[in-house]
Amino acid sequence: MEEIRIVPLQENDLRQFVLDNQEAFRYGAMEEFGVRDEHYEDGDQIISEKTILRSVEEGDAYRICLGEEKVGGVIVSTEGDHGHLDILFVSPSFHSKGIGYQAWCEIEKMYPQVRVWETVTPYFDKRNIHFYINRCGFHAVEFYNSHHRDPDDPDAGSDDLMSDGMFRFIKIIDKV
C-alpha cells in the first residue's frame, strides 16, 4: 500500500475538512446504532462544526493524504511534553487499510518532544477503542459520563454524546 502523507490543512479546504470529519463520526455511530442514532452534538451531527472549528483554531490541523487524495484528517495540540489528539478521522471508504495507524505514527514522529499523549472517544465507538488501545498503545484511564464529568471541559455533559460517556486515553512514550 502507498504511504500516507500528513499535510497542513489549507484554509480553502476547511469546509470540506469539517464535512469529511462529520461523515466519519456519523459513520461510526450509524455502524453502532443504525439510522435511529440520537447521539448528536448538533442537529444531525455527532460532532458539531463549532467543535471542529474550535479544535482547528486552537491546534495544528492536517489532512491525511494517500497519493493526491484526501482520505482523512487529524488535529493535535501540544504544550511542552504533553500532547492532545483532538481529532483523527479516516474516510469510511478507506477504513481497515492501516491509514489511521500510519497517520498516528507520523504524528508521533512530527512531535518528538511529546512524552504523554491524551485523547478521548465516545463510549460506543468500539472501532476507535480498539484502534487506540490495541493498535496505537494508549491506555483507558478514565470514563467521563453524567456522574463523572471532565473537570477541564466547562461544557462537559451538556450534550447527549458527553452525558452518555467518553473514554479518556493516555499514551506515555518512553524516550531513551
Q: What's the whole-number average pLDDT of the chain?
A: 86
Q: Strand, helix or coil at 106? A: helix
pLDDT tens digits, one per residue of 86-134: 999 999 999 999 999 999 999 999 999 999 999 998 888 888 999 999 9
**pLDDT score of 124:** 82
Cell 482547528 maps to which residue?
56
Q: Residue 8 — very low, low, confident or very high, per pLDDT cuts 50/70/90?
A: very high
The C-alpha cell at 26 is 456519523
Q: How far is C-alpha 173 from the chain's CA centre?
A: 19
**pLDDT score of 61:** 98
Share of the chain above pLDDT 70, in %: 80
Give the domain CATH number at 9.
Answer: 3.40.630.30
pLDDT tens digits, one per residue of 22-51: 998 887 665 555 544 444 444 556 678 998
Global pTM value = 0.84
pLDDT tens digits, one per residue of 45-60: 667 899 899 999 999 9
Q: Which domain holds residue 30?
A: 4-172
Q: What's phi and psi for 156, nearest 5 deg?
A: -55, 130
Nearest to 91 by CA among 73, 103, 105, 106: 73
Calculate helix-pair angle for 49-58, 14-33, nearest 10 degrees.
130
Least confident of 30-34, 76-80, 108-112, 167-171: 30-34
Least confident of 74-78, 126-130, 150-154, 155-159: 155-159
Residue 141, judged by CB atoms within 10 A of its CB (0-12, 13-18, 19+), counts as exposed
Count up the domains in the chain and report the number: 1
3-state helix, strand, coil in the chain (%, to 5): 40, 30, 30
